[in-house]
A and B are shown apart, each in its own frame.
Chain A
């Protein structure tokens, strides 16, 4: 293999002395990634692997999980971390491929809007969930709903 010479960067490495947002974004991708491995693999293990996997999922299944604050916080953490991680990753990709200023601007605003809306929606869904809407499936649920 021939040796490859890589030219020195043409622009200085620092720009002004404000907060280096790109650096924090870079770090966020890594920190959230490590946590997401645990959260998503756990999510898929319980929902796709245990028991009869997808075919066991219905309203009662969700009610059973969200009766426990543990799974509520699990899901909400996963929701926030994954959407911000994915949204920031999409932003990188738009910066790489979208040419004109306007196109970039529109695409990034669309990503931001989608991420913000879904974070709000998903968080509300978890914390305002009403397990007594359907036919309570477990004894514990029946008692809890009757007590209301």
Chain B
């Protein structure tokens, strides 16, 4: 399905990129579109979208995290009460999300740095995106079972 050009401006073109991923339809009767999608809908765009979302999420976590850690200056009881909520099953699942975000942002951040500074970086940027995904999956497969065991059995 093709969205109208009006709809494509929603969310700065992010929305429509999903629809335009891949090759354009053969005999489109719709308005002509910009030739070629150099970037939109491809690995480069998704790595940027996820990098941005995870960066914002980590930033807001960190604001709260510095405040909860500051309770060690208030009293041991206050700190233990708040850190105790980090050990509940619901927060345990939240920590899985947080670690997932950090691990993606970190690995993809290294990929961005390689694209910028390594002479062959741009040539391998797509491959490196899939390496980032692969390393993310491996890290999460190692972390999640262990973390959930800690959360649900202590």
Contacts and interface: CB of A to CB of B under 8 A. Distances in A.
Do these two chains interact?
yes
A58 B86 CA distance: 10
Contacts of A58: 76, 79-80, 83
20 contacts: A33-B113, A36-B106, A37-B109, A40-B106, A49-B143, A54-B92, A55-B150, A57-B83, A58-B83, A59-B80, A62-B79, A90-B56, A90-B59, A93-B52, A97-B12, A118-B67, A125-B70, A125-B72, A125-B73, A129-B73
Q: Is the interface of B mostly helix, strand, loop or mixed?
A: helix
B125 interface: no
Contact of A33 (B36, B58, B110): B110
Given A33-B109, A34-B113, A37-B109, A54 B151 contact: yes
Contacts, number: 110
B45 to A, nearest CB: 14
Task: For the complex of A and B, list the 4 residue pairs with the smallest distance between their C-beta atoms, beginning with the closest.
Answer: A134-B76, A55-B154, A59-B76, A53-B150
A86 B150 contact: no
Contact of B69 (A36, A41, A89, A125): A125
A125 B87 CA distance: 23
Interface of B: 12, 35-36, 38, 52, 55-56, 58-59, 62-63, 66-67, 69-70, 72-73, 75-76, 79-80, 83, 86-87, 92, 95, 99, 102, 106, 109-110, 112-113, 116-117, 143, 146-147, 150-151, 154
Interface residues of A, number: 45
A86 B58 contact: yes
